[in-house]
Amino acid sequence: QKRERLDFRVPPLASGGGDIKPGMALRLAARRFCSKPVPLGLDSPQAASMKAAVKNFMGEVSSFSPGKYFEEKYFWEKANVGPFFLLLFFTPSIYRSCKDFYWTQQLRKLNTEEIISDRYEWLRLNMIQDEVEEALLKQAPAGGVTPLELGPSSPP
């Protein structure tokens, strides 16, 4: 059995231009995926379709009427009720998430304020303690305080 050998070389151009060099293949592939150039001042087809879609969406949003939407016949036969029921179904979860987010932020702020307050309280108490020690050192006699001995210095 003879195995065929696969050839991964780039085939010649259809226009008879000869072999394609490696750099040229990349350039030709990039050109293939690029959009067609549009003269300045004119909209490309993609931009025009995007503008039309946005304008259509904004028209639908601005013409929304709750009275018409929730009218029974329109609601059950013509209206797109999917978003309404999704909102109705997920409202407890959305509410709980918003509430948790709010209280997490508030407690984080309170925790920061308490830490700062505790540090100021610690600093204030240490400053008072330093002042008391300084005043006591000024009242001490020049030779220092003689230690108080209870009983004899050596055993009998």
Q: What is the pLDDT of residue 99?
A: 97
Q: How far apart are the first and last CA of the chain?
A: 116
- Encoding tokens for residue 5? 């050998």
Q: Is residue 103 scored above 90 in pLDDT?
A: yes
What is the DSSP secondary structure assignment for residue 14, as one 8-state letter?
T
Q: Is residue 20 scored above 90 in pLDDT?
A: no
- Range with top average pLDDT, 17-26, 63-72, 111-120: 111-120
- What is the average per-residue pLDDT within 118-139? 94
* Tens-place pLDDT, residues 53-68: 899 888 888 888 888 8
Distance between CA atoms of 105 and 3, rounded to whole angstroms?
69
Q: What is the pLDDT of residue 94?
A: 96
Contacts with 12 (C-beta within 8 Å, 6 or more apart), sequence order: 18, 19, 20
Mean pLDDT (the chain) is 82
- What is the average per-residue pLDDT within 20-31? 73
What is the DSSP secondary structure assignment for residue 6, as one 8-state letter?
P
The pair phi, psi for residue 82, each rounded to 5°, is -55, -55
Contact of 28 with 20, CB cutoff 8 Å: yes
Residue 154 CA, chain-centre distance (Å), reads: 75
Q: Is residue 52 scored above 70 in pLDDT?
A: yes
